[in-house]
Amino acid sequence: MRLQFFSVLLMLTCIIAYGQNDTYVRLTGKVLSARDSTPVSASMLYEKLPYYDDMGVSKSNGEGGYEFYLINGLNYNFKLTAAGFLELTEEISVTNENGDGSMNKIFYIAPEEEPELLTLDNLIFARGSDRITESSFEGLDELVAFLEDRPSLVIQLEGHTDFAGNADANMRLSEARVLAVKDYLVKQGVKKSRVLTKAFGGTQPLFTERTDEAKTKNRRVEVRIIKR
């Protein structure tokens, strides 16, 4: 209902600006993901070419649908943005292609290329424990926002320690730490079912040197994307 209201408002604005004799075309369609054709709720900005002297903004709905009233025979530049997707810019020529004052257009917007494995670089635990330090909260909140923007994403938290000391103790510590991170995410509103955990202890070091720097880099929690 709100989308229809703004579309009518855009049409009336165009009539006032260009006069009653111009022919308007009702442009409708959908915004879909270029990966799998699922609907995308995107912000949509249009500008009339070549002088950008008329513009408007709206948003596609939950099913990807949108509606605009544009002047027949003119070219418009569209700019689409959505969380988790690359910005799309596309020029279209408005025509009464259906003969009934309407035109249909599907915009395909490409998802951002995301790595399969992320490292929580700013995650710090108290020495020898699973207590997360306050300095880590900002980075974890960024992960929460990342997951909120991608509601279908399922991740696995993978815990690693350095390989010094007792192997069983390292395994228990890495497990406790990933569970602590999961608990933080869940308390911030992330569903438990979207966060899996796995502990590796010191079995998968990034570096085999016994320096303090190597040990620090080996102690880490990684985020593996399991399902998009």
The dihedral through the CA atoms of 142, 153, 197, 163 has a sign that is negative
Q: What is the CATH number of the domain that holds 176?
A: 3.30.1330.60
Structural domain range at position 130: 117-227
User: Domain check: are 223 and 121 in the same one?
Assistant: yes
Pick the last residue of a domain from 70, 89, 109: 109
Residues 209-215: what's their mean pLDDT?
92
| 166 pLDDT higher than 70 | yes
Q: What is the pLDDT of residue 29?
A: 96
Mean pLDDT of the chain: 89
Task: Note whether 97 and 121 are same-domain residues.
Answer: no
Proportion of the chain above pLDDT 90, given as a percent: 73
pTM value is: 0.56
pLDDT single digits (tens) 170-193: 999 999 999 999 999 999 999 999
Query: Are residues 67 and 100 located together in one domain of the fold?
Result: yes
- pLDDT over 50 at 138, yes or no: yes
DSSP state of 199: E
- Give the pLDDT band (50/70/90) at residue 1: very low
Return the higher-pLDDT residue of 106 and 1: 106
Predicted confidence at residue 173, as pLDDT, reads 97
Cα dihedral: 159, 162, 164, 170 (round 10): -10
Final residue in a domain of this structure, among 87, 109, 131:
109
CATH code at position 27: 2.60.40.2190
Do 128 and 170 meet the contact criterion of CB atoms below 8 Å apart? Answer: no
Query: What integer pLDDT is reported at residue 114 of this predicted model?
Result: 67
